[in-house]
Amino acid sequence: MSLTNKVAIVTGGARGIGRGIVLALAKEGAKVVAFTYVSLSSTPHAAALVKEVSALGFSAHAIQADCRDLSAPNHIVTETLSAFSVSTLDILVNNAGVGSAGTLLGEITAEEFATVMDVNVRAVIFMTQAFVRHIARGGRIVNLSSVSARGGYATQSVYTASKAAVEGLTRVWATELGHKYGATVNAVNPGPVDTDMYRAAGKVHLIRMEEQNKKTPAAPRAGSENDVADIVLFLCEERSRWVTGDVVCANGGMMFV
């Protein structure tokens, strides 16, 4: 197994793409997979995922934490280290994110901007900062972007800006952390993936994406959790040691970049 004894943190891991990533890491032998969730409605999903990982013979630990809370990153790291009696961390997947309201430029509010940027950008920065304080040599950081970062889709101004920022941060951190920690930092840029977040993106955006899905070269459909999780898994393995500062576009050919 490629990740034997590795300790991983996945933010937003109870459902959707995050859940797929947690299972992919566990199936490759990650000794500890700590994952976060925020809402009470996700509690049963988190508990079920812990049981599923345990059934594979590995350990998982669910941490309820709101990424908008500035104390959350240190809390997540501290609880992970304590729960599994470890002193270093190997893998961070910054998956937690929120979509925007699907509003045109003239309708964007300060509240929408703050919510999206706090979760999709600020939380990624400070979660990574907290992780790096305990990173093991050769650690892996994977950030989740979106095809929206490059697609120029109407009604997606704030979300697009947040994911473009994540791609920029990925390149900066690859430069900053490579020699110092032997770490790689990459991003995965999914196209539409059939998750709760995708279905809640707004009627206008959803209709547009469904039309786009029909034209996707790899297959006329939205992506699945596993389509993305398998790529994240590779970027967490030793096999990806010569890949850093990169953005892998997991969109089935919807967009060639």
- Is residue 108 within 8 A of residue 160, CB to CB? The reply is no
Give me the pLDDT at residue 193, please.
87
Structure tokens that stand for 230 in this block: 């398998």
pLDDT, residue 154, reads 86
Nearest residue to 21 via CA among 97, 83, 84: 97
Catalytic residue among 145, 148, 162, 240: 145
**Taking the model in full, what pTM does it have?**
0.93
The residue extents of the domains of the chain are 7-250
pLDDT at position 66: 94
Q: For the chain, how many helices (H) and strands (E)?
A: 10, 7
Instruction: Verify whether residue 146 is a known catalytic residue.
Output: yes
CA angle at 47 for the pair 41 and 48, rounded to the nearest 5°: 100
Distance of CA 27 to the CA centre of its chain: 18
pLDDT value of residue 226:
94
For the chain (257 residues), the mean pLDDT of every run of 10, in chain order, is 92 94 95 85 94 93 95 96 95 94 90 96 98 98 94 90 98 98 97 77 73 88 93 97 96 83
145 part of the active site? yes
Active site residue 87: no
Residue 255: CA atoms inside 13 Å, Cβ hemisphere, count? 20
Q: Based on the residue annotation, tell me whether 159 is a catalytic residue of this protein.
A: yes
> What count of other Cβ atoms lies within 10 Å of the Cβ of residue 224?
15
The residue type at 63: I
Identified catalytic residue from 146, 148, 162, 240:
146
Q: Where are the beta strands (DSSP E) in 109-235?
A: 135-144, 184-190
* pLDDT value for 100: 82
Q: Which of 159, 162, 198, 240 is catalytic?
A: 159
Query: What architecture is domain 7-250?
Result: 3-Layer(aba) Sandwich (3.40)
Q: Select which of 37, 100, 148, 163 is catalytic.
A: 163
